[in-house]
Amino acid sequence: MDRGEAIVQAGEERSARVESLRALAALAVLWGHVVAASLALNAALPSAGDLGTLERIAYGGGYGVFFFFALTGYLLFWPFAKHYFGGGSSMDLRRYAVNRALRILPLYYAVVIVVLLFQEGNPGLGVWARFLTFTETLTPGTAGRIVGPAWSLVVELCFYLLLPLLAYVVARLAGGSRLRAGAILVGLALASLALRVATIYDAEPVDPLWRLNLPATFLFFVPGMLLALVRVSWEERRPEWLRGNLARGDLWILATIPLWALVVLVSYSLDFLVGAAAFLIIGACVLPLRTGPVANALQWRPLAVVGVASYSLYLWHVPVIKALADWGVPTGFAVLTLIAVPICIVVAIASYGAIESPFLRLRRQWARSSARQEPPPGSARPTA
């Protein structure tokens, strides 16, 4: 398998294809919020008749956040999968925690402070306390509001904290069997989906405390976790049936088009299909499959650069769109798209350079320092 070109993020090499997937997900979410701003939508989802086809597709871009969850599931579970099911080295949980903290906290707090001070006019101690402690999704007044995209950071943080224990328990219950481990994860995903059906799809009105927290969103992390198990297995031995068209990554990607169409054109309540689409798209980039023009297009450098700054793009785009509206920028869908998207990208790249990159370099320095103090190769432990 050709794993594709690499792109540098704060001195570390990353897969250009994976970073491009981040970029596409972040841009999709941005486009969805452009539609929301142009139509002055609130928390309620519009019906199919309220939007034109293009606007409906764009608004469905908000489900890119679930694609992010699948990416997180794959990238963070991969070292655990290698350890428990592939004979890899054990995880350094202290380094794992430090890596996660340096990755998400500095930018999160920077955005929260700017928004609460300059856009919300210092809204009170209670609001400050909830955002600073990652508990904003536990109260209706702040769940999905004020710093809108931040709700998914709460979900991600909960997943970070849960993952080491979850990986250990799944490994013990599976007894080293990747197939049993996959079955356990699928069972957990189905339980999460059942909860999502009861609290979101069949609920009226939808309680944001269910919609914006881990129990009803865990199912979107599972496709990535399953991919980690599949990759461990396939790198050890490719299955006999993985040949011909089934081994073409481009066809995996193209096979997701009907899934996306069902979600954004038929019913937003089919959003669970995003998990299946994410499995196929991420799998086309990380599994030992043959690549073609579609997968190779994900190596386009400008797109990968946006992916490197995708975390900044994700957190800053709503405050930027709100600022543009406050400054009198026309809020029509087409005009706002043409103005907001490039401005948000510029802000994201600047934010990455000023806020994210220094802490990511610090993380890398600490990792090198820790590695020098660890035992020699053979017992060394990889970072998450």
Whether 207 maps to a domain, the answer reads yes
- Lowest-confidence segment of 3-12, 193-202, 252-261 by average pLDDT: 3-12
| Per-residue pLDDT at 59 | 87
The answer to whether residue 29 is domain-embedded is yes
Look at residue 368 in the predicted model and tell me its pLDDT.
Answer: 62
Q: What are phi and psi of 8, to 5 degrees?
A: -90, 130
Indicate the burial class of 87 (C-beta count within 10 angstroms; 0-12, 13-18, 19 or more): exposed
Q: For position 195, what pLDDT does the model report?
A: 96
Confirm whether 167 is domain-assigned: yes
Q: What local confidence, expressed as pLDDT, does residue 363 receive?
A: 77
Average pLDDT over residues 206-212: 89
pLDDT of residue 40: 62
Residue 384 belongs to some domain of the structure: no
Look at residue 378 and tell me if it is in a domain: no
The mean pLDDT of 17-40, rounded to a whole number, is 91
Residue 44 clears pLDDT 50, i.e. is over it: no
Q: What is the pLDDT of residue 157?
A: 97
d(CA 185, CA 226): 7
pLDDT band at 89 (very low <50, low <70, confident <90, very high): confident
Mean pLDDT for the stretch of residues 230-236: 94
Kindly tell me if the per-residue pLDDT of 381 is higher than 60: no
- Mean pLDDT confidence for 266-292: 94
As for how many domains the chain has, the answer is 1
Confidence of residue 369 (pLDDT cuts 50, 70, 90): low
Residue 218 domain-assigned?
A: yes
Q: pLDDT above 90 covers what percent of the chain? A: 69
pLDDT in tens, 311-344: 999 999 999 999 998 888 887 888 889 999 999 9
pLDDT score at 8: 82
Decide: pTM greater than 0.85. Answer: yes
Whether 379 is in a domain gets the answer no
Domain membership of residue 175 (yes or no) is yes
Q: What is the pLDDT of residues 297-311, one digit of tens each?
A: 999 999 999 999 999
Q: What is the mean pLDDT of residues 63-82?
A: 97
| pLDDT for position 41 | 43
pLDDT single digits (tens) 128-168: 999 999 999 999 889 999 998 999 999 999 999 999 999 99
What range does the domain containing 360 cover? Answer: 6-373
Contacts 24+ apart (CB under 8 A), 4-10: 4/285, 4/291, 4/295, 4/296, 4/298, 4/299, 5/299, 7/301, 7/304, 7/305, 7/307, 7/308, 9/308, 9/360, 10/356, 10/357, 10/360, 10/361, 10/363, 10/364
